[in-house]
Each structure stands twice: as C-alpha cells, then as structure tokens.
Structure 1
C-alpha cells in the first residue's frame, strides 16, 4: 500500500479522481490538501470534503495557498461551474477542514515518513512550490511527485501552448521542475484521450445509486462546456488518470525528458520538453490504454455492476 498526499483544486475531474483514490485499497491516503485553481481554495476545500463525504469515508482535508506565487489568479469556473462541481450546488454535510496549513502538513508528513510519501498533484503546484521554498531538505525526502499538468507534444487547453495547472501558477511549476525531485508528468498528451462518452455517462446513470447520480450530475456542465468549446461529444476527465496510473502503471508508456516552464510572455505556462536525453528531470507519460483505464475507473467505483461494465466497454472500444 502506497502512502499518498493528494493535492487538489477540486473541480469536476478532481472529484472523480478523489472518488477513484478512495475506492482503491492499494492507496493509503494520508490527507488531501487544497489549492486555488479551478476554484478558489475555500470552494476547493468544500468540494473536496463533499466528495469524501459521498463515499462515507473519513480522510483529513488541509486548506492551502489561496493565490499563485506571482501571477494574478484566474479560476476555471467557466469550465467547472460557479461552484466547481458543475453548478450542482450539492449540500455539504459539515465543513470541517483541519486547522493545520496544507504546506506545513505536507512537510511534517514527509519528515515523519521519509522516502514513503508520494505526492499526487492534480492542480496548480503552489503548495508544493511553497513547501520546497520553505524546507527543501525535508521535501527531498518525498518518494515521488506525480502530477497532472503540462504537455509535451500536445497543444494547450487554456492557451495555444499552455495547460491550465501550469498556466495558473507558472512560477510554482518552474520551482518544482527545477527542484531535482523525482517527478512524473501526466499531461494533456494522454489525458485528452480519457473522454467520458455519452454511452459511459448513461450507463453510470443507470446504476441508480447516489454516487452514480452525483457523477452524472457534476459532469453535465463539463459535457456542455466541451461541446461549446471543442465540439467534443462527452467530456475529458484529466485527473483520474493519475490515480489509475498509480494503481496500474502498466496502462501507460513513457519517455524521459527535460521540462522547462515559461513564466512570462505569450507562451506563459508552457512546458517546453527536450527529449534529447542529454539531461532529464521528468518521466513523461506519452500513451495510455484507454479501455483499461475505464475498466479500472468504473469497476472500482461500481463493484456491484461488473458484468454490465464489461459489456459496455467491449462495445465502446470495439475495433473494426
């Protein structure tokens, strides 16, 4: 079992990733930390608590940085809705984040568990960059950082060249990639392939559980956004791929490269990747078995519907 801290800016796809992580016995979630990104940090904290409450489980949530290090903050409520969960405005049973600051929690946990903690970063890298600046000696004891962000050969999703998490706080991303830590980047090169299709959404709805209705409801706003912006049928769900990769590394292929982050100008937030292998600082995920991802995702969340899921996936991914 891998001990992890999951750092989130909980919008729609973060919520799906949280659900998958909570339903995966291979992962020991020490805590969730929140950061401003898709929504500001207070709303991200509410959404994280709400998602955890959906599972009936109890994992501590720590509130982190409310602003990027340098750049003015711009949220993604156009993509995720005013509440970050598709404007569903689900009621929160109890708002009880931990008192400890997320950055301090990250450092304390790594210090107490040297070479055991994997940091999963699904939002802007502000909290992690702050931890590096505050105590790099302690943070260097982290086992690994796996992040959703950037792109190596794919176009951007909030500018022609930049992925949103890096674009929101490029200076934080720069600090992380210059840190010398063990980093795996799960970027748009692969996450754009993880599309929650109308067929998959419909079968989720037909499972008729509170969780299935929650997923169906929060993703409707995403579906509408993707159609309006890209004429995509369905919606891309980036963040759960990081969790699936942690569970089953064999579903991906990767390459090594050196990642540099643009912090100013027209290409702000771009991850510039050099694959020449003269010098590398990042393991970069380049391809994914999409069918196997959905096999993991759906069967973990809906273990009482394994036969229906297998039938759906055979039809959905039939070739020829």
Structure 2
C-alpha cells in the first residue's frame, strides 16, 4: 500500500480526488494539507473536511498557506462556485482540522519517514515550496510528488499558455521543480480528456447512495460552467486522474523531460517543457486510457456496483467510438 499525503485546494475535482484516494485499498492517506487555490484557505479546509466525512474515514486535515509566495492571489470561484463545491453550501460538517500548520506537518512526516511517503499535489504548490525553503533536508526525504498541474503541449486553462495551479503560484512551482524531488506531472495534456459526461453522471445518480448524490450534486455547477465557457457537454474532472495514476499507473503513457515555470511577464505560470536526453527533472503524462480511468474512479467509489459500472462503461465508450469513426448505422 502506497503511503501518501494529499495537498489540496478543494474545489470540486479535488473533493472527488479525496474521495477516490480514501476509498482505494491501494492507498494509505496519512494526512491532507490545504492551500488557497480554487477557494480561499478557510473554505478549502472546510471542503476537505466534508470530503473526508463523506468517505467515512477520519483522516487528519491541516491548514496551510493562505497566499502565494509572491503573486497576488486569484481564486477560481467562477469555476467551482462561491463555496468551492458548486454552491451546495453544506452546513453539516462535523469534523475539525488539526492545529498544526500544514508545512510543519509535511516536514515532520517526511523526517520521520525518509523516502517512504509520496505527496499528491492537486493545488498551487505553496505549501511544498515553503517546506523546501524552511527545511533543507525536506526535499531529500520526499519519495516523490505526483501533481496535477501544468501542460507540455496543451493550451492553458486560465491564460493561453498557463494551467491554473501553476498560474496561481508560479514561484512555488519553479522552486518545486528545481528541488531535485522526483516529480510526475499529470497536466492538461491528459486531464482534458477526462470528461464526466451526462451519461456517466446519471449512472452515478442512479446508485442512490449518499456518496453518489454528493458527487452528482457538486458537479452540476461544473457542468454548467463548462457549457457556458467552452460548450463542453459534461465536465472535466482533472484532479482524480492524479490519484488514479497512483492506483493504476498503466492507464497512462509518460515521457521524461525537463521543465521550468515562467514567473514573470505575459506567459506567467507557463510550464516550459523540453523533452531532452541531456537533462530531466520530470516525468510527464502524455496519453491516458479514458475508459480505464473511469473504471478506476467508479470501481473505487462504488465497489458494490462494479458489474453495473462495467456494463454501462462498455456502452458509453463503444457508443463514443462509433461516433468518432463516423459510422452512424445503428
């Protein structure tokens, strides 16, 4: 079982990722650290606690950085809603966060478990960069980082060239990439293919459980945003893909490269990726098997419905393949 810490800014898709990680038998989530990103720190922490509560687990949650290292903070409430959970405004959160600061928790955990714990970073990298700056031994004790962020070849989602997590705190991202930590980048090159379609959302709703209703409800705002913004039917759920990669690495094809993050100017936040044999500091996910991802995602969230999931996924992806090939004879 892989030992991980999740560093998150929930956010709709972060919340789905927390559920996936906590319900997987292949991952042991030691703790969850929060950072301002999709929503400000206080709300992000509440949303993390809500996801933990929904999972039925009691994983500790630690509050981290309120602001980026240098750049002014800009949230993504236009995408995730004022509360970060699609404006569902849950009031039933009974769990509380830990008193220890997220950065101190990260440093202490890595010192106690050198090269034994991986970090899954799904938001701006402020907490991790701060830990690197605060403790010179930290980077050497981290087993690796799997992060959702950046892009090698795909356009940005908050500027023509920048992905949101890197754009919010580009200085932190640059520090992390220059730290020597082994990094796998699950960026927009693959996450843009992970579309939670109306059919798949309806499958989930029909399971009629507390978790299935939660997943359906928080993604409705996301669906509406994607339609207004880019005329996508459904919604792109970026963050669970990083968790799915940890559970089943075979769902993706990766390529070694070297990356730096632009910290000034019109291209601020851009991950500039060079695929070279001369130097590497990253493994970039370049291709994903979308059907395999949804099997990992849905099987772990709803293990009691695996048979129905497999039947319905077969119908969903076979139908899509027929349409993509232009064969309309049914």
TM-score normalised according to structure 2 size: 0.96
Q: What are the residue-to-residue correspondences of 1:38-57 with 2, within 5 Å? A: 38-57=38-57
CA-to-aligned-CA distance 1:77-116 (integer Å, 9 cap, x gap): 0000000000001123325110000000000000001110
Partner Cα distance (2:283, 2:93) in 1? 40
Contact 2:53 2:95 in 1 (8 A): no
2:254 aligned counterpart, secondary structure:
strand
Q: Which residue of 1 aligns with 2:118?
A: 118
Q: Matched residues in 1 for 2:107 and 2:304: separation?
A: 39
- Unaligned stretches of 5+ residues in structure 1: none
Alignment correspondent of 1:83:
83
The CA deviation at 1:205 is 0.6
Alpha-carbon separation, structure 2, partners of 1:92 and 1:138: 37
What residue in structure 1 maps to residue 8 of structure 2? 8
Measured in 2, the distance between the counterparts of 1:128 and 1:234 equals 32
Partner of residue 316, structure 1: 316
Query: What is the match of residue 158 of structure 2?
Result: 158
- Rounded to whole Å, the distance in 2 between the matches of 1:183 and 1:263 is 19
Per-residue Cα deviation, 1:203-258 (whole angstroms, up to 9, x for no partner): 11111111111110000000000000010000000000001000111110010111
Task: State yes or no: 1:101 paired with 2:101.
Answer: yes
Deviations 1:109-142 (A, max 9, x none): 0000111010110000000000000013133111
How far apart, CA to CA, are the structure 1 residues paired with 2:305 and 2:180? 44
Alignment-derived partner of residue 194 in structure 2: 194
Q: Secondary structure at the match of 1:140?
A: helix
Matched residues in 2 for 1:116 and 1:256: separation?
A: 23
Instruction: Give me the whole-angstrom Cα distance separating, in 1, the residues matched to 2:246 and 2:49.
Output: 22
Distance in 2 between residues matched to 1:44 and 1:95, nearest whole Å: 14
RMSD between aligned residues? 0.8
Supply the distance in 1 between the matched residues of 2:27 and 2:306 (Cα, whole angstroms).
21
Distance across 1 between alignment mates of 2:284 and 2:110: 24
Distance (Å, rounded) in 2 between the aligned partners of 1:146 and 1:172? 15
Q: Is 2:180 aligned against 1:180?
A: yes
In the alignment, is residue 167 of structure 1 matched against residue 167 of structure 2?
Answer: yes
